[in-house]
Structure 1
Amino acid sequence: MPAMERTAVLEIRNPSDDSLVGSVKCASSDAIQAVITTAQRGGRAWAATPAAERGAAVKDTARLLRERAGELAVLIERETGKPRTEAEEGVLAGVGTLEQYAELGPVHRGRSLLGDPGATDLMVPEPRGVVVALTPWNDPVAVACGLLGAALVTGNTVVHKPSERCPYTGAWLGGVLSQALPEGVLQTVQGDGSVGAELAAHPDVDVIAHVGSTDAGRSIAASAARTGAKALLENGGNDPLIVDADVDPHWAAAQAATGAFANSGQICVSVERIYVHQDLADAFLSALVAEAGGRELAPLVDRRHRDRVHTQVAEALAQGADPLVGGVLPNGPGAFYPATVLTGCTPGMRVFTEETFGPVAPVRVVPDFDQALKQAASDEYGLAATVLTSSMTHAQRAWRELPVGTVKINNVFGGAPGGAAHPRRASGSGYGYGPELLDEMTQTKVVHLAPPGA
């Protein structure tokens, strides 16, 4: 991977009004080496700590985070623009994840094997070693807590690099959680993409867990292939929504608006492209425009990201898309962008082929469910998909045929706790959450124990 030029100082501005939040110095190569060395030195003692004690320590991290959830939510709002109430919900989701892993870690188990009756044969999970966690800005605490919690309860030491768009949130989180852990077990490193790349390429790192863009994920995978580290990647998505002919158009529009506009479209499984049956199209589009017009959105994370979103919209308009609502850069400070509905979209437009990650709902009208399913499946990404239908036959076909990790029928956001899916193709690889993440954070050793002379 070619060397990336490093930013010396990160400057963070409030996306609501462009005011300066602060500036953070990026870690040097010497600082990165020192952190990795510390993680290695602390790893043996932490791995040897009884699993119940590790679980108790992680449970203490959850308690400390819960006590200060409101305080952290204020900081998240200032750095990322996420409304304070939603930010606190994200923090509490992180608390819940830490609590779950604190309980699951001590009961994570191996297997005994049926071999020679005179011997004992075991499959034993062991910590992998040093875990580098590279986490995103759109849900910075909930995502980080999942990766950190699973790594810590299984006996790994962790080096956490939060997104360069929310370094204060990452530093605050690491500072609070570390109060309940032995020194050096959890460390926070600040920096831009070049710092993440250097961490990922370090020969003494055993796991790289990354939630972020596909381009970064592919670079990380290449680094892991050279060093032998395990790469856990949840990367970009281009999640489709199919609207069948037999559903209520107003309900379908409300589902589509929630999927496309929640958190200003900055959710890993946001609705990125919509396929609506021609028999329902007029009523659905009218209702979707009404939904979009009635929403006041928080700003995007920064103006750089807003420029990226608007560039995709402007390209679609130049290529013939019709803006039913939105699609215009607002005047004034901040990184605000309106809820946007585009129709007349074609498969080659970037709003249909790439992850826009903004409040944009591009729509294609299709003649039947077969075409909707075919076009939805024709994509390089494979994170998630949603299908709105009253047909059990269509629902069954959808979850069986769509090549994605998660398929949601008649509910754009939802699902039972504890589920874990594999992202497909450009969307990454490996379990990034759920009980199965404990398996990813450990490696299995087979033991054959026979008496002398056997």
Structure 2
Amino acid sequence: MHQSNTSATSESELHITNPSDGTSVGSAAITSEREIRACVQRAREAWPAWRATPPAQRGQALRAAARALAEHEAEVADLHHRETGRDLEGALGGVRAAVDTLLQYSELAPVHRGRSLLGPGTALDVMRPEPRGVAAIVTPWNDPVAVSAGLIGAALAMGNTVVHKPSERCPHLGALLGAVLGEHLPAGVLATVTGGAREGEMLVGSMEIDLVAHVGSTHAGERIARSVALTGAHLVRENGGNDALIVDAGVPVPWAAEQAAIGAFTNGGQICTSVERIFVHRDVAEAFVEALAAEAERWNAEGRVVPLVDERMRESVHDQVRAAADRGARALVGGVVPEGPGSAYPATVLVDVTPEMTVMREETFGPVAPVMVVADFAEGLERASADEYGLSASVLTPRLDHAHEAIDRLAVGTVKINHVFGGAPGGAAQPRGRSGAGFGYGPELLDEMSTVKVAHLEAIPGAE
């Protein structure tokens, strides 16, 4: 996910404007270093009692928090819409996904199992999962409620206490989420701090933090990894991706173009697994490009492309498009900053792109679909694999052997065949390369939020 930045900042406040129309959402006070330390200390003091709380009771508390979030869904979704530009339907879907995730972890954690080991019959040997301690959770702005609820829910359910720093692009939303959930948790178990990179580094760099979970840009994640290397905290991070889409010969072209548009333009391209690069087989290239351009025109005409989160984000996206044009790429659709307030950017289709262009090498995080024609599926697979990131990739192909080859060879955490956003509930992937490490969601996230102790128990020989 792309590096965060706010509409405007001062030394003591974050000033947020609505990406749709440029109106003010409000100002949020930045948490001081002293208060960050105090939040961590309160979480440390609350941990022994929360750890000792029976898992079923922790689950009950999470379920109460989930019900409260459901009751406030309209308020939370509206703030999400105003602060990040996400359309109301998508924002509401994110809140409901957050409720479901909290409920999921409230049920899964109490039945999270250790293992028994085969020792002598006179002894008992077990592997027991235990909470890690105080968790620092740093979350993004593009799906803030669902992502935050997942990480917070898994951490709390396993008996950790949490200090949460939401993105500086949605501080009001983060504070509201913390207030709604916190009403149903003991004091000190969940705290929310507000700020940017400086405050995030204060939090994750604390020697009192045992676990750090981060979803956000690769740049921020790598800074966090360096800090955590000095503290010894366990780190889970899902960071930026440069996700490829391979379009094979023999696919139905209108459907393939629709899939590409969904992958590249949904939420303004501001999804961690958005389609960032497209490699299309030459046999279908001409028809595919024409159909994708028509899809982009339709998305723009129907107002389906939400604004980018702020003007700085728009500038970053347009810089990549402009740099590609300077090196010979052509924008068939879009590629122009619209007039008026807010930070809108149109669905854009680029052709004549080359691998060395920034738009093909780095995450754009905007509604941009750069298309490169390849000679065959093998070349598409090779070019898709030539990347430093490893979050996910998609393949549209009618051939089962090509699907298997892609699954085997693509060095990413998730490979999606014939659906750009497909996947069953409960899946958990591990990013590769610069995209991060560790399970960031699914039941396996409970393993990240806990550590394992091996215990051996036997009686003293001859003792009664």
Shared fold, TM over 0.5:
yes
Q: Does 1:417 align with 2:462?
A: no
Partners of 1:424 and 1:298 lie apart in 2 by 29
1:403 to 403, 411, 415: 411
Q: Does 1:52 align with 2:26?
A: no
Q: Does 1:324 align with 2:326?
A: no
Partner of 2:6: none
1:95 is displaced (CA, Å) by 0.4
| Change over 3 Å in CA distance of 1:7–1:242 after alignment to 2 | farther
Q: Do the aligned partners of 1:158 and 1:185 also contact (CA within 8 Å) in 2?
A: yes
Partners of 1:77 and 1:169 lie apart in 2 by 10
User: Helix, strand or coil for the counterpart of 1:73?
Assistant: helix
Q: Do the aligned partners of 1:373 and 1:398 also contact (CA within 8 Å) in 2?
A: yes
Give the letter aligned to residue 200 of structure 1: V
Alignment root-mean-square deviation, CA: 1.0
Q: Does 1:315 align with 2:323?
A: yes
The 5 Å alignment of 1:40-439 reads 40-295=44-299, 296=303, 297-439=305-447
1:192-250, CA deviations, whole angstroms, 9 ceiling, x for partnerless residues?
A: 11111111111110111000000111111111111000110000000000000110111
Q: Do the aligned partners of 1:7 and 1:192 also contact (CA within 8 Å) in 2?
A: no
Give the letter aligned to residue 181 of structure 1: L
Give the letter aligned to residue 137 of structure 2: A
1:43-70, CA deviations, whole angstroms, 9 ceiling, x for partnerless residues?
A: 0000000000001111111100011101
1:8 is displaced (CA, Å) by 2.3
Partners of 2:285 and 2:332 lie apart in 1 by 13
Partners of 1:18 and 1:6 lie apart in 2 by 18
Q: Do the aligned partners of 1:321 and 1:343 also contact (CA within 8 Å) in 2?
A: yes
User: Helix, strand or coil for the counterpart of 2:168?
Assistant: coil
1:321 is displaced (CA, Å) by 0.2
Q: Which runs of 5+ in 2 are unaligned?
A: 1-8
Partner of 1:441: 449
Partners of 2:384 and 2:312 lie apart in 1 by 29
1:85-118, CA deviations, whole angstroms, 9 ceiling, x for partnerless residues?
A: 1100100000000010010010001111111211
Give the letter aligned to residue 93 of structure 1: A
Q: Does 1:30 align with 2:34?
A: yes
Partners of 2:306 and 2:244 lie apart in 1 by 23
1:17 is displaced (CA, Å) by 1.1
1:79 is displaced (CA, Å) by 0.2
Partners of 1:368 and 1:120 lie apart in 2 by 59
**Structure 2 length-normalised TM:** 0.96
1:365-412, CA deviations, whole angstroms, 9 ceiling, x for partnerless residues?
A: 001011000000000000000000000110010000000000000000
1:7 is displaced (CA, Å) by 3.8
Give the letter aligned to residue 445 of structure 1: K
Q: Do the aligned partners of 1:94 and 1:143 also contact (CA within 8 Å) in 2?
A: yes
Percent sequence identity over aligned pairs: 58
Q: Do the aligned partners of 1:6 and 1:195 also contact (CA within 8 Å) in 2?
A: no
Q: Does 1:450 align with 2:455?
A: no
1:452 is displaced (CA, Å) by 1.9
User: Helix, strand or coil for the counterpart of 2:130?
Assistant: strand
User: Helix, strand or coil for the counterpart of 1:347?
Assistant: coil
User: Helix, strand or coil for the counterpart of 2:456?
Assistant: strand
User: Helix, strand or coil for the counterpart of 2:283?
Assistant: coil
1:331 is displaced (CA, Å) by 0.6
1:229-280, CA deviations, whole angstroms, 9 ceiling, x for partnerless residues?
A: 0110000000000000110111100000000000010001000000001110
1:349 is displaced (CA, Å) by 0.5
User: Helix, strand or coil for the counterpart of 1:331?
Assistant: coil
Partners of 2:399 and 2:128 lie apart in 1 by 46
Partners of 1:112 and 1:59 lie apart in 2 by 30
Partners of 1:134 and 1:27 lie apart in 2 by 14
Give the letter aligned to residue 417 of structure 1: P
Partners of 1:28 and 1:6 lie apart in 2 by 13
Partners of 1:11 and 1:44 lie apart in 2 by 37
How many positions carry a matched residue from both structures?
450
1:331-358, CA deviations, whole angstroms, 9 ceiling, x for partnerless residues?
A: 1100000000000000011100000000
Partners of 1:398 and 1:293 lie apart in 2 by 31
Q: Which runs of 5+ in 1 are unaligned?
A: none
1:6 is displaced (CA, Å) by 8.5
